[in-house]
Amino acid sequence: MKLARIAKPLRSVQVRVSLAGDLNVELERYASYYQQVHGDSVDSKALIPEILHAFLETDREFQAWSRSSGFNARPMGVPGASSDGTAKPQA
């Protein structure tokens, strides 16, 4: 499973999303899969930001573009890390 156990509360940004029926069914199936793998039940809506986060962090072309475009922000959820995911020395 690509998605790690959810260990922190969701961020305080709200986004309204409408899912096509088949995508919603797949998301609900993924929530069942998550429960089978981790033993914790999770609301399928709580998976959306986690899946998006995992997708953005593993998209190599996006990461390369971010570095080459001067977007030097730390990856989401990784304090003290550089844009390539490696640890930065603390000042």
The answer to whether residue 32 is domain-embedded is yes
Spatial separation of the C-alpha atoms in residues 50 and 31, rounded to whole Å: 12
Question: Is there a single domain that holds both residue 63 and residue 90?
Answer: yes
| 3 assigned to some structural domain | no
Q: How far is CA 76 from CA 11, 36, 80, in A?
A: 11, 26, 10
Residue 4 in any domain: the answer is: no
CA–CA separation, 82 and 21 (whole Å): 38
Q: Same structural domain for residues 91 and 65?
A: yes
Residues 65, 42 share a domain: no
What pLDDT, in 10s, does the model give residues 25-78? 999 999 999 999 999 999 998 899 899 989 999 999 998 998 888 776 555 554
DSSP state of 72: -
Please enumerate, as own/partner, the contacts of 73-80 that have beta carbons within 8 Å and a separation of 24 or more.
77/8, 77/53
Tell me the pLDDT tens digit for each residue of 16-31: 889 999 999 999 999 9
Give the predicted TM-score (pTM) of the model.
0.59
Tally the domains of the chain. Answer: 2
For the record, the structure tokens of 4 come out as 């790690």
